[in-house]
Amino acid sequence: MDLPSTALSCGFSGGVDDFAGLLRRKGFLPAAPGVPMAAAPGSEAIPQTQATTILAFKFQGGVLVAGDRRATAGNTVVYDRADKVLEIDRHSIMAIAGVPATAWEMARVLEHSFQFFRRTQLQEMSVDGKVRALSKLLRDNFGFVMQGVGIVVPIFATYDAGADPAARLYFYDAMGANFEVTDFAATGSGSPAVRGILYYENNWGKKPLLEMEQDEAVTVALRALDTAAESDTATGGVDRNARIFPVIKIVSQAGITTLPDKQIGALFKRSVA
């Protein structure tokens, strides 16, 4: 049976092409998730600002969460003091890799959601509730991810003060699936190098990550980010000249502690540089 001329003009060829394939060929969908769509005729694609790299791992004092400070758009360094480790409430941290504009908005929504629950229910939201709240935000954003914009791949760390008090650590994919980890997590463009460092330290270092004290844990985080910066241009690492250091926060039963640059710089000079 002959296809209508309107179908032929839209790009269907004998019924072998699906609708998503048609949209991709016409430029309305990216060739693959995370790949920006082709620019319209006569215009240029606008590069997205991206923020990487982040890591988190459990140690003797809780969960250490760290992120470098560089934000890029294509080959351009947009900003070298970006904050990718965001406090959501007194015991929860969201670290971001991906598009900062989307991630920061997610963080604001999460913060308001947790506050609203605490004030209306007169208790903290459960850890499972917090984890699912972030999953929902990522699922709601997946339509933009399919268009090649707004991708966010976060890490979430919190302290569970329930029946079995313990620090909890999760990483997510772009669709909102969450995975609890027992040791460490890393995302972003520099994450392959970071995971290699953390895996080595955890299995063949002087002691496993869980047995490390705070200074030892911070040293490992600095070494991992400095190593990633050597092979990944989107990772800032440590800027020795401008004295720009990663953001490092610790989640524990006492709450969230932000390490000052002076302390990080001293550890970097003594144990890394």
DSSP category for residue 31:
S
Least confident segment among 24-28, 70-74, 165-169, 242-246: 24-28
**In this model, does residue 16 exceed pLDDT 90?**
no
Q: Considering 52, 53, 219, 227, which one is annotated as catalytic?
A: 52
Q: Span 49-271: which CATH code?
A: 3.60.20.10
Catalytic annotation on 52?
Answer: yes
Alpha-carbon gap, residue 99 to 2, rounded angstroms = 46
How do residues 120-179 score in pLDDT, each as one tens digit? 999 999 999 999 999 999 999 998 888 888 899 999 999 998 878 999 999 999 999 999
Q: What is the mean pLDDT of the chain?
A: 87
- The pTM of the full predicted model, rounded to 2 decimals, is 0.83
Alpha-carbon gap, residue 113 to 44, rounded angstroms = 38
Determine the pLDDT at residue 48. 76
Q: Domain ranges for the chain, please list them.
A: 49-271
Judge whether 139 and 175 are in contact, CB under 8 Å: yes
Determine the pLDDT at residue 22. 65
Least confident segment among 20-29, 68-77, 150-159: 20-29
Q: Which helix (H) or strand (E) holds 155?
A: strand 155-160
**In this model, does residue 52 exceed pLDDT 90?**
no
Q: Where are the alpha helices (DSSP H) in 26-99?
A: none
**In this model, does residue 21 exceed pLDDT 90?**
no
Q: Where are the alpha helices (DSSP H) in 182-213?
A: 191-204
Determine the pLDDT at residue 12. 41
